[in-house]
Homo-oligomer: A and B are copies of this chain.
Amino acid sequence: MTTIAVIPGDGIGPEVVEQAMVVLDRLGIGLKFDVLDHVNATSYLRDGSTLETADMDRVRSGAGILLGAIGDPRVRSVDYAREILLRLRFELDLYVNYRPARLLHDRLSPLRDPARRAIDCVLVRENTEGLYVDVGGTVREGTDHETAIDAEVSTYFGVSRVIGFALRAARHGVCMVDKANAVRNSGELWQRCWRDLGEAHPELVKTHLYVDVAAMRLVEDPASFEVIVTNNSYGDILSDLAAQVAGGLGAAASANINPESGAGLYEPVHGSAPDIAGTGTANPFGAILSGAMLLDQLGRTDEANAVRGAVDRAVAARRCTVDLGGQLGTADAGRAVVSEL
């Protein structure tokens, strides 16, 4: 048996993750789920607990982690997401955040131009550095003279390994996105890593965009991208944007991986959506497709492709939730995928 650690989390997290488990289970490939259903905002609000040592042990001993969503409007502290999601990314050194954005069906595009809207790209986001390092502090906190500092920290080691991954992941072209014309030190480092690593890939078309232009271009001409590689913060923004251009966050999946160690955390790109939690209407496809990425990691490529194909057919047949043009609830949409398998 292969054990998968599951963190359902908050809001719609438990509902969508359940459907992912149903689909994975149905494949009959001996997956066992170790569900950490106490890691959520309710626990945090009760006694401040997040991921305890025993939880980290369970998480580390599994073959992968499936996560629903972390976030709750009742939590005012800015540390909550950091202590679960960001902690896992950093402690397990999951330096690649791999976020495909593929239009599942033409009717789902928010864009007008049929010739340009067929987005099918992957955003490769650096996941262990940049503005997310939590280096900084505050002077005269809470007064009218407060100054707050957060450092964006980038290293040659960290930038070159993620750029290297992106270059190896591409068939035709990679676009590197930074803001070297304004954010000087990180910008120069990204530019240098890009030149150094790019040399080994003469077969690829290598382009560069400033982040503001990249955001614009994702709306203007999304089908022109294949692989985008960028830092943690720009990756956060551009991946949500790309998912929206691909038809909405509901079906967007992501993998936080360390290609060397094999560790991986798989999660839908959407958040906990507290407004619809408990209504049984959340779209489970983002979680299910994240499960497919976990299968890729386990070497189960055929099964991963089968799940993706089943989702595609369910969407085409409108056997899906309202956001994708169907009329099904969460559990029925999950069942639709199972029946298409």
Binding site for B on A (CB under 8 A): 71, 78-82, 86, 109-113, 131-132, 134, 136-138, 142-157, 160, 179-189, 191-192, 211-213, 215-216, 219-220, 233-234, 236-241, 243-245, 248-249, 271
Contacts and interface: CB of A to CB of B under 8 A. Distances in A.
Given A150-B184, A157-B145, A182-B81, A241 B215 contact: yes
Contacts of A71: 181
Contacts of A160: 144
A113 B109 CA distance: 10
A220 B110 contact: yes
Given A71-B181, A180-B78, A236-B182, A152 B149 contact: yes
Contacts of A109: 112
Task: State the oligomeric state as a number of copies.
Answer: 2
Contacts of A186: 148-150
A90 to B, nearest CB: 12
Given A219-B244, A220-B248, A236-B211, A138 B189 contact: yes
A182 B82 contact: yes
A253 to B, nearest CB: 16
Contacts of A152: 131, 136, 149-152
A-B pairs with lowest CB-CB distance, top 10: A148-B185, A212-B240, A148-B189, A216-B244, A146-B156, A215-B241, A216-B240, A150-B152, A81-B181, A219-B244
Contact of A110 (B113, B238, B239): B113
Contact of A244 (B131, B148, B220): B220
A153 B139 CA distance: 11
Nearest to A156: B146
18 contacts: A78-B181, A78-B184, A81-B182, A82-B182, A131-B152, A138-B185, A144-B160, A146-B156, A147-B155, A148-B154, A148-B188, A149-B153, A149-B154, A179-B233, A216-B244, A219-B241, A220-B244, A233-B233
Contact of A136 (B78, B131, B185): B185
Contacts of A111: 110-112
A112 B219 CA distance: 12
Contact of A145 (B80, B86, B156): B156
Contacts of A220: 110, 244, 248
Contacts of A138: 185, 188-189
Contacts of A146: 155-156, 189, 192
Given A187-B78, A237-B215, A156 B182 contact: no
Contacts of A237: 211-212, 215, 234, 237
Given A138-B185, A220-B248, 8 more contacts: A78-B191, A79-B184, A132-B183, A143-B156, A145-B155, A145-B156, A151-B152, A182-B236
Contacts of A112: 109-112
B180 A157 contact: no
B180 A151 contact: no
A31 B238 CA distance: 42
A225 to B, nearest CB: 15
Candidate in A145, A153, A239 with the most chain B CB atoms within 10 angstroms: A153
A245 B233 contact: no
A325 B86 CA distance: 46
A131 B216 contact: no
